[in-house]
Amino acid sequence: MADAVSDAVRYEASGHIAVITLNRPAARNAVNHEVAVGLESAIDTLENDPDVWVGVLCANSDGQPRPVFCAGADLKAIEAGQLDTLMTARGGFAGFVFRERTKPIVVAVDGLATAGGLEIVLAADLVVASTRSAFGLAEVKRNLVASSGGLFRLPRVVGQAVALDAILTGEPIDAARAYALGLVSRLVEPGESRAEALRLAEQIAAAAPLAVRASRRIVRAAATEDDATLRAMSDQEFNRLLDTQDTKEGLTAFMEKRPPRWSGR
């Protein structure tokens, strides 16, 4: 069954597996209001369909000279003061990163996942990536912080030292290192991540679905203890920085494709 949840998010179910596709390739699949609402709707559809047991989340990179899974928040929306349109009440950023779910989601990455794009990846359950993929939190380059889970989820996966290196420099972790560190569960050749994610989803769907969900719930609970406190801290810092001169400068410099001129204010 195919269902275009919106132009920006596609949903297709076949057997026990649903494929959700971010579909803003011209905008590097950046999250705008349509993506947030569409992704939340897709998760609703997956969760409410008793015949669908596993989800695969991927992205359309057609026409991109350098493939991008997701570039994070649409900075035009932030600059316009429309940050809240990128959130939903149940899912947070992209309608997904803090969404309570029962069914496992495998994310297929074939390119760059940066800023909120990496936070979407970290909110999924398993990551299949191609060798041309990379994973970063570039917020410090815009005088922002990764307030949608990245600052506490990335250290849990790759360790504090590696995470701080990536977070404080804004430089991404390449796919081979991400695989060695455990962020990526399966590493494949370029163009093969979606197919491999489907193979993994089929293996999961072949197992007992209730046992899969129960096992996932326990593992996730162990990995996300005290997220509420960490989320509140992330939100506080994000909001504190949002109204500063340097945030405006960082966003403007990005749009103008020039190095930012920081003032510390």
Where are the chain's structural domains? 2-189+208-256
| Percentage of residues of the chain with pLDDT beyond 90 | 72
119 is catalytic: yes
Backbone dihedral angles phi then psi of residue 85, each to the nearest 5 degrees: -75, -10
Mean pLDDT of 81-85: 90
Of 29-33, 201-205, 245-249, give the lowest mean pLDDT range. 245-249
Q: Hey, which CATH number is domain 2-189+208-256, 1.10.10.10, 3.40.50.150, 1.20.1080.10, 3.90.226.10?
A: 3.90.226.10
Q: Sheet holding 2-3: strands in order across?
A: 2-3, 9-14, 17-22, 54-59, 105-109, 126-130, 186-188
Is 249's pLDDT higher than 90? no
Confidence of residue 215 (pLDDT cuts 50, 70, 90): confident
79 is catalytic: no
Q: Are 139 and 170 in contact (CB under 8 A)?
A: yes
Of 126-130, 187-191, 202-206, 212-216, give the lowest mean pLDDT range. 212-216
| Percentage of residues of the chain with pLDDT beyond 70 | 95
Q: What is the pLDDT of residue 224?
A: 57
The average confidence (pLDDT) of the chain is 92
SS3 127: strand
Mean pLDDT of 156-169: 97
- Give the residue, 146 or 210, on which the prediction is more confident: 146
State the catalytic residue, choosing from 40, 119, 192, 196: 119
pTM over 0.85: yes
Count of CB atoms situated within 10 Å of the CB of 143 = 21
**Can you tell me which residue has the tokens 């409410």?**
48
Of the candidates 144, 146, 26, 31, the one whose C-alpha atom is nearest the C-alpha of residue 77 is: 31
Q: What is the pLDDT of residue 123?
A: 97
Mean pLDDT of 154-167: 97
Q: What is the pLDDT of residue 110?
A: 98
CA gap 188, 158 in Å, rounded? 20
Q: What is the pLDDT of residue 223?
A: 66
Determine the distance from the C-alpha atom of residue 100 to the mean position of all C-alpha atoms in its chain, rounded to a whole number: 15
Confidence of residue 1 (pLDDT cuts 50, 70, 90): very low
CA gap 70, 28 in Å, rounded? 6
State the catalytic residue, choosing from 12, 47, 79, 139: 139
CA gap 220, 72 in Å, rounded? 23
Q: For 93-151, how does the pLDDT look when each residue is reduced to its tens digit (9 = 90+)?
A: 999 999 999 999 999 999 999 999 999 999 999 999 999 999 999 999 999 999 999 99
Q: For 3-18, how does the pLDDT look when each residue is reduced to its tens digit (9 = 90+)?
A: 656 899 999 999 999 9
Residues pairing with 58 in the sheet: 21
CA gap 17, 32 in Å, rounded? 26
Q: For 36-78, how does the pLDDT look when each residue is reduced to its tens digit (9 = 90+)?
A: 999 999 999 999 999 999 999 999 999 989 999 999 999 888 8
CA gap 249, 265 in Å, rounded? 10
Of the candidates 77, 76, 78, 63, the one whose C-alpha atom is nearest the C-alpha of residue 28 is: 63
Backbone dihedral angles phi then psi of residue 244, each to the nearest 5 degrees: -85, 160
Q: What is the pLDDT of residue 81?
A: 87
**Can you tell me which residue has the tokens 């504090």?**
160
Q: Which residues of 106-117 are buried (b: 16+ CB within 10 A; e: fewer)?
A: bbbbbbbbbbbb
**Can you tell me which residue has the tokens 């990764």?**
146
CA gap 209, 211 in Å, rounded? 5
